[in-house]
Amino acid sequence: MRRIYTPNTYSELFDKPFDGEGDRVIDRSVEAYAIKTVSSGPRLDVEAFPVWATNGDRREAKESSTPEARRRVNERNSKKRFLRLFYANFGQGDMFLTLTIEGEVSAQIAKRQVTNYIPRLKRLRKKQGLPELKYLYYIQGGNVGKTGNPVRWHVHMFINAMDRAAAEGAWKAGFANSKVLRKRGDKLVGIGSYATRFYKSERIECEELLLRRWAASSNLSKPKVRYPKHRLTRRRASKIAEDYQGAARIFEKEFPQYELYELEIRQSDFVGGAYFYATLFRRE
């Protein structure tokens, strides 16, 4: 039985933007393209990746992977995990908070301010008779911005619905601002990307420590990962690579409840084929 080589193993090889060369997609070393889907609320991620025809291709791929490529892929995957948790758990009526931290503080203190804030929210919700707190946050800062000045620590946080004034008032480290999430047509799609638009590595390096930049409550629903049995032929993969409108028709025919929102294609300097990343959203 010929093995399917999963994207978790070899996605780091496809580290370059696609150059438009169709012959790369239909490289003879590629038998077909396997598919992985990740469903997160209204969002559907579809990844198509090469199944190589021989063990020699597999060995070449494995030997070509580099630590730097793995780091970049891990960072992209971390951002995707964050966004998928957002779409799987938060929507209309929930809240998006921006929490600033006053003064020049260390990363540890910034992190502590967030972890101290969460129990206060939990107590407020219990007092108000609300369901258990759900949260997802990402800490930004500790780097130099576009102006050349340091970016102060601040936090982007999603929580389930509650009184806005109470949530803002529970933040004691600086200024708090919140907004209520609306439907996709009111920028729900964009707000998740906004929260991570200056996404840095998943962990903060400080004083020989590694602190997680983002965290989520344990009661969040997990995105659903599937590996459909059918594959994408090299011919159809080539059509997707050649024409965005044609790609939209192919993906939307395969997943009729969704419409294509974004398509990224990456290639490798080491092996044949390409790696397709498609993001779709459920039709309203």
Q: CA-CA distance, 264 to 246, in Å (whole number)?
A: 14
Q: CA-CA distance, 284 to 274, in Å (whole number)?
A: 31
Q: What average pLDDT score do residues 166-193 get?
A: 78
Beta strands 176-180 and 95-100, pairing class = antiparallel
* Domains in the chain with CATH codes: 7-66+223-282 (no CATH), 88-200 (3.30.70.1910)
Q: Quick one: pLDDT band at residue 7, thresholds 50, 70, 90?
A: low
- 185 has pLDDT over 50: no
Instruction: Tell me the two tokens of residue 87.
Output: 């779409």
Q: Quick one: pLDDT band at residue 225, thresholds 50, 70, 90?
A: very high
pLDDT tens digits, residue range 31-83?
888 899 999 999 999 999 888 766 555 566 556 666 777 777 777 788 888 88
List Cα–Cα distances, 56 to 30, 53, 108, in angstroms. Answer: 12, 9, 48
| pTM of the predicted model over 0.95 | no
pLDDT tens digits, residue range 72-116?
777 778 888 888 999 999 988 999 999 999 888 888 888 899 999
Q: CA-CA distance, 264 to 277, in Å (whole number)?
A: 5
Q: CA-CA distance, 5 to 11, in Å (whole number)?
A: 10
Q: CA-CA distance, 261 to 184, in Å (whole number)?
A: 12
φ, ψ (nearest 5 deg) of residue 110: -60, -45
In the block, tokens 């003879």 appear at 28
224 sits in which H/E element: strand 224-226
